[in-house]
Structure 1
């Protein structure tokens, strides 16, 4: 009797074990539920919100130099993308390893084997695990950066989030200062070029004045013109007087001869002055060197060119000096700030694993796979 009952129970158990839904759905679900509820290590998530800002200030460069330099102000979208890329970088992971031994925390043997990082993990595996536990989301409208960091205990999650925020602030400021220093380097080079041009322009003007013994060719040209006008006026007066004398006495009269001699002298002097204005003869400069034969008009034209060149160079030097001083200030001040909108939180409850969600999702996947398998097998059976 006992043997008959035992055989019935055994046959019943074998039938249950051969039940597909029990083997492929119920048993995996029970195993996964045991892991989620009793084995899986809890993970805590610390949250922070950040935004990149820069102080409102006038552009460092003079407009002309700004166009030549090619430097521009980076957009806020570029700044937040830089922050995101740096947080996800190997440099950030190495910094966290050196300062708070984050890899050691993630690979601690007290945590379950499926959740923790392997002790002999490669650099690529460490980075992948880090990226799975750190998320950065950017709001497209407000450009606010949401930083979420997971760890196996509350203090480590908070400490890790704080370290990432501080390092990201250091990075964004370092980038802006490096840009400002490169800008300063460019402005210094341009300033040296402008200074050299100014020295050359001064030297050319002084050499031209020294070569022709001229302090101000413009004033000398005006004076020569006045002398010419005065001589023409005197010639006209002497001509009229000579004509009156000849009408009342002979041409050989002493007074007429003297008047004619004075008139001829004035005409010769007028020719000399006109020649100085139009075609000056060669002469020696202050240091007795032979100089080029130039008229006063040509001298005045060349002097004007040198003077205009000096004035333009002096204006460029003034603008360059202002840009240089502004660049020096910008290079040594904080240009951008990573403002903490929400400080890193200290979590009280674990955020992961989400037991109910994971179990529901796992059961749905099992049922879906089981149903698909049943349909495939039934179709194959019908086709035989």
Structure 2
């Protein structure tokens, strides 16, 4: 007994800072610590289009060779850590029952009274998800107290990841295609209305193309003016050596008068007062035809956009590519007895040295 007291007085600091913690840690690792198995899977999100990079050889290590869908991979990472997914898997795989089992490690066991928020925090520590920004690979490591359960959880996560990516991919494609089809319907309605306006105009004014009629009128008037100019020249020439009552002069005058009347009628038909002028009709019809042409162009563009969107949607459908399927662990990865005990021993020795140096400094100042 005296020997124990003497030993305590001489080495109490080492006993408190090194021996006692190491003894407690040894008891824990020897008697209480439960094996924790880790199931691992590696996946990535790929597009089905030709712009998706390959994952062969050294191409994964090259800058720029990473997947173009890393943003989707980040969304997937957050989804796998979501509370909604955890609750659904809890109903399917009895997560709470597994992690709060009485046979589980008391230190790493889930508290039976844990709230959803506490369970979510526990879940995120048991499901490690890491993203390699260079290659775009997503590594999922699931810890479980049973190797079969760890693999089952990992398989369920893989299934949910595939469903999530497929749902997002098809939802975006459907939204884009629905928008393009909506634009096509609107363009078709505008084209139909424009074509109906053209037909109504032609029916109301009883002419196929006022612009063509106006051009024909202008052409006839120009031809008549040319003919009138020629008649005036011929008349002036014959008056130089014929009398005004000569038959040729009389004939030219009659023909000149008739042509002048015809020119007047053609001009009057184009700018007749009190009625809608042919020129104005031509301008209005040109505006209507321009609107119809624009509507036709918009319809053709919308139709091409629908086809392009359909092709692009089918070309860029995303999917989960499994690089390594969920493994079935045979050897527990945790606890790491040697590593944890060695780390604790180093910390205890450091603590002992600091405490011993502090006490020695204090005694030196007291002396």
Deviations 1:284-303 (A, max 9, x none): xxxxxxxxx2343x443433
Match of 1:79 among 69, 72, 85: 72
Q: Specify every segment of 5 or more residues in structure 1 that has no aligned partner in the other structure, as ranges.
A: 1-9, 59-73, 284-292
Match of 1:349 among 306, 310, 331: 331
* Secondary structure at 1:143 match in 2: coil
Matched with 2:107 is 114
Matched with 1:137 is 130
Match of 2:91 among 85, 88, 98: 98
1:316 matches 2:307: no
1:336 matches 2:323: no
> How big is the shift at 1:280?
4.4
Matches within 5 A, 1:249-328: 249-253=242-246, 256-277=249-270, 279-283=271-275, 293-296=276-279, 298-325=280-307, 327=309
> How big is the shift at 1:141?
1.1
Matched with 2:205 is 212
* Secondary structure at 1:140 match in 2: coil
TM-score, structure 1 normalization: 0.82
Match of 2:6 among 7, 11, 15: 15
Alpha-carbon distance in 2 for matches of 1:367, 1:109: 34
Q: CA RMSD in A?
A: 2.6
Larger mean CA deviation between 184-193 and 312-321 belongs to 184-193
Alpha-carbon distance in 2 for matches of 1:37, 1:139: 37
* Secondary structure at 2:128 match in 1: strand
Structure 1 residues 237, 331: CA separation in 2 closer, same or farther (over 3 Å shift)? closer
Contact 1:17 1:23 in 2 (8 A): no
Alpha-carbon distance in 2 for matches of 1:370, 1:294: 111
Structure 1 residues 295, 334: CA separation in 2 closer, same or farther (over 3 Å shift)? closer
Structure 1 residues 117, 269: CA separation in 2 closer, same or farther (over 3 Å shift)? same
Larger mean CA deviation between 339-348 and 252-261 belongs to 252-261
* Secondary structure at 2:220 match in 1: helix
* Secondary structure at 1:137 match in 2: strand
Contact 2:211 2:281 in 1 (8 A): no
Larger mean CA deviation between 247-256 and 97-106 belongs to 247-256
TM-score, structure 2 normalization: 0.86
Alpha-carbon distance in 1 for matches of 2:46, 2:350: 50
Deviations 1:94-140 (A, max 9, x none): 12102111121111111132121111111111111111111111111
* Secondary structure at 1:238 match in 2: helix
* Secondary structure at 2:243 match in 1: coil
Matched with 2:62 is none
> How big is the shift at 1:221?
3.3
Matched with 1:5 is none
Q: Specify every segment of 5 or more residues in structure 2 that has no aligned partner in the other structure, as ranges.
A: 52-66
* Secondary structure at 2:289 match in 1: helix
Alpha-carbon distance in 1 for matches of 2:221, 2:197: 30
Structure 1 residues 211, 381: CA separation in 2 closer, same or farther (over 3 Å shift)? farther
> How big is the shift at 1:269?
1.5
Contact 2:232 2:256 in 1 (8 A): yes
1:363 matches 2:345: yes
Matched with 1:235 is 228
Larger mean CA deviation between 220-229 and 248-257 belongs to 248-257
Alpha-carbon distance in 2 for matches of 1:312, 1:57: 35
Between the two proteins, the alignment pairs up a number of residues equal to 349
Alpha-carbon distance in 2 for matches of 1:372, 1:310: 90
1:150 matches 2:143: yes
> How big is the shift at 1:326?
5.3
Alpha-carbon distance in 2 for matches of 1:105, 1:332: 42
> How big is the shift at 1:275?
4.3
Deviations 1:194-241 (A, max 9, x none): 223223322332333334322123432342233123212321333244
Matched with 2:189 is 196
